[in-house]
Amino acid sequence: MIRESVMMDEFMKAAIAEAKQGLKTGGIPIGSVLVKHNKIIGRGHNKRVQDGDPITHAEIDCLRNAGRIGNYQDTVLYSTLMPCYLCAGAVVQFNIKKVIAGESKTFTGAKQFMESHGVEVIDLDLAECQDLMKQFIEKNPRLWDEDIGQ
């Protein structure tokens, strides 16, 4: 496991709390936070099921909740799962320079795409994030396939 700092752990804990909130409200357990100058400025979780909206992935919800902040270059996006191409596209579009993912074993996501656009991507390979997704996927395989476009 990679550990950058105690601060980073607190931000990932906040993303995990978002994922658990999403699961508690009937959705997919993926959470995200946006950090600027060591402060959380946006939080979100996957709300595709709750909102009936195929675009409301955790990272998109997080960015929406952060609102218009002007410049995203000094931000770090934390996500419990490696971002998909949709969310990676938003990262590249808004010039977010760093993404920290809880895991990428249950879903490989778009790490190479982000890196090819100059984004530093760190995969923490956290058991808690993997377990959350594994349990969800086992219980809801059709919903998970829908979420990843299968």
Q: List, for residues 89-101, the tens digit of each pLDDT value.
A: 999 999 999 999 9
Question: What is the DSSP code (8-state) at residue 6?
Answer: H
**Residue 4 annotated as catalytic:** no
Sequence-distant (≥ 6) Cβ neighbours of residue 92 within 8 angstroms: 113, 114, 117, 119
> In the structure, what pLDDT confidence band is assigned to residue 2 with cuts at 50, 70 and 90?
very low
Residue 51 has pLDDT above 70, yes or no: yes
How far does Cα 115 stand from its chain's mean position? 16
Percent of the chain at pLDDT exceeding 70: 94
Instruction: Please name which of 34, 18, 26 lies closest in space to residue 72, comparing C-alpha atoms.
Output: 34
pTM: 0.92
Which of 59, 115, 128, 146 is flagged as catalytic?
A: 59
Half-sphere exposure of 94 (CA within 13 A, CB side): 24
Confidence category of residue 6, pLDDT binned at 50, 70, 90: very low
Residues 78 and 141: their CA atoms lie apart, in Å, by 25
Q: Which domains does the chain have, with CATH numbers?
A: 10-148 (3.40.140.10)
Per-residue pLDDT reduced to its tens digit, 65-116: 999 999 998 999 999 999 999 999 999 999 999 999 999 999 999 999 999 9
